[in-house]
Amino acid sequence: MSTTILDVIRTKRDGGALSDEQIRWFITGYTAHEVADEQAAALLMAIVWRGMTERELRTWTGAMIDSGIRMDLSGVPRPTVDKHSTGGVGDKISLPLCPLVAACGAAVPQLSGRGLGHTGGTLDKMESIPGWSATVAPDRYLDLLEDPGAVICAAGDDLAPADRRLYALRDVTATVESIPLIASSIMSKKIAEGTGALVLDVKFGSGAFMVERNRAAELAATMVELGEAAGVRTAALLTAMDIPLGNTAGNALEVQESLEVLSGGGPADVVELTVALAELMCELAGVDADPSAVLRSGAAMDTWRRMVRSQGGDPDAALPVAPHVETIAAEADGVLGRLDARHVGEAAWRLGAGRSRKEEAVSAVAGVRWHRRPGDRVSRGDVLVELHTGDPTRLPAAVDALEGAWEIGSEAPERVPLVSGRIG
Ligand code: URA
């Protein structure tokens, strides 16, 4: 009997499991524009409610991988290992991490898409470096993995094309928040990328996709299983995202902060997470190195400079700076009790650092810098945050977004560990 989309939707709507054939038929048909958006949306909503069995999820992810090419990195003379973060405010970790792991001896093939959301993605941050290009010709890609050993670049249209269509539809149909749909979306792209090992940074808290830690743990375990089943050594760290990472959110601002980390300084939380992820990446890749010592030695900075140059960038060029900077001061004396990542991310986005539609340009200079972190003492009149923008008409909306973002009280908040668990 031939498969019909109505049968597929009904099966899932009524709580049944889809057959492998139905799943492959749907993914192939939707990628080829042979299934209508409204029908695909109905199926996605049924999946949000009903979930997927392990077998369904493996087949679904496999079909998404098979919708495009799977890269072959077997010719790279170093073990390959990549990192994926589920995303958070001020998350610039890929910038110091990729050259650090390359300097430790592994190769880092980081293919990225352009995300939506609070701040730009890694490619947007890198593009604030004068001359740097996210486009790398396929024949150069393997050479760059050999030397300098890390490539951050745009994924081609032929990498998991099913995900591109499905993600765009999920984004406009309130069907993003589903563990099987998120796990298959992320893992299909990472498995297709051809990496031998993968470390996931799965965030939870107010500034993350998953607010609750147990949901983040479930997502992490689901992704680790998918990776391992596809022959990719995979492990995840669960990390807190209530407070934004580092001291800045915004593209050029975050590049500047990453340079501080590569120079041996930078905010303690960015250094801690960079080193923790690098240690796990080296472990999975089978590379015997001490990332903390490599960072201190300056070797990661040397690799960064070669990475930037190899993609047309000038590592010595000044980064763009916002022409308009407004400050907000503390309204009372006391201790900063909270700095909410979601509010800060929203403010950075309103200043122009992120996009709400895929085709929108992001501003390199827009963003937020915060001068105090929870637990710090503040005096009335101290500058708490700076708002950076190229377009001053955006300032009032960003100020509004920060309404209620912090509290000044008399007691320091309880410290939450940044890295709170490992899965895999
Ligand atoms: N990132 C992705 O690539 N896919 C999702 O579904 C969510 C986050």
pLDDT tens string 74-117:
999 999 999 999 989 999 999 999 999 999 999 999 998 776 66
What does the radius of gyration of the chain's CA atoms come to, in whole angstroms? 22
Does the annotation count 185 as an active-site position?
yes
Between the CA of 174 and the centroid of ligand 1 the distance, in Å, is: 13
Among 83, 84, 343, 350, which one carries the catalytic annotation?
84
Cα(167) to ligand 1 centroid in Å equals: 7
In a domain, 108, yes or no: yes
| Ligand 1 geometric centre to CA of 124 (Å) | 17
**Count of domains observed in the chain:** 3
Match 């147990």 to its residue by tokens.
Answer: 214
**Same domain for 106 and 250?**
yes
Between CA 412 and CA 407 the distance in angstroms is 11
Catalytic residue among 50, 114, 118, 170: 170
Mutate to test the pocket of ligand 1, among 170, 185, 198 (most ligand atoms within 8 A of CB): 185
Nearest CA to ligand 1 atom 1: 186
The atom number, within ligand 1, closest to the CA of 186 reads 3
**Residue 20 designated active-site:** no
Residues 28 and 121 in one domain: no
Q: Residue 316 falls within a domain, yes or no? A: no
Shared-domain flag, residues 167 and 139: yes
Verify whether ligand 1 is closer than 6 Å to residue 406 (CB atom).
Answer: no
Q: What is the CATH number of the domain that holds 45?
A: 1.20.970.10
In a domain, 244, yes or no: yes
List the structure tokens of 293: 């010592």
182 ligand 1 Cβ < 6 A = yes
Based on the domain organization, do 235 and 188 belong to the same domain?
yes
Whether residue 306 is found in the same domain as residue 336:
no
- Separation between Cα atoms, residue 282 and residue 285, nearest integer Å: 5
| CB of 155 sitting under 6 A from ligand 1 | no
Same domain, yes or no: 366 and 276 = no
Does 58 reside within a domain?
no
SS3 state at 409: strand
Mutational pocket test of ligand 1: of 186, 209, 226, the residue with most ligand atoms within 8 Å of the beta carbon: 186
Query: Residue 408 corresponds to which amino acid?
Result: I
- CB atoms inside a 10 Å sphere around CB 314: 13
Whole-number Å distance between alpha carbons of 130 and 297? 26
DSSP per position, 248-278: EEEHHHHHHHHHHHHTT-S-HHHHHHHHHHH
Residue 202 in any domain: the answer is: yes
pTM: 0.95
Per-residue confidence in pLDDT tens, the chain, 424 aa = 688 999 999 999 999 999 999 999 999 999 999 999 999 999 999 999 999 999 999 999 999 999 999 999 999 999 999 999 998 999 999 999 999 999 999 999 999 877 666 667 899 999 999 999 999 998 899 999 999 999 999 999 999 999 999 998 998 899 988 999 999 999 999 999 999 999 999 999 988 889 999 999 999 999 999 999 999 999 999 999 999 999 999 999 999 999 999 999 999 999 999 999 999 999 999 999 999 999 999 999 999 999 999 999 999 999 999 999 999 999 999 999 999 999 999 999 999 998 877 778 899 999 999 999 999 999 999 999 999 999 999 999 999 999 999 999 998 898 889 999 999 9
- Are 275 and 328 in the same domain? no
Parent domain of 159: 81-310
Residues 298, 334 share a domain: no
Could you tell me the CATH number of the domain that includes residue 269? 3.40.1030.10
Same domain assignment for residues 291 and 367? no
Does a structural domain hold residue 61?
no
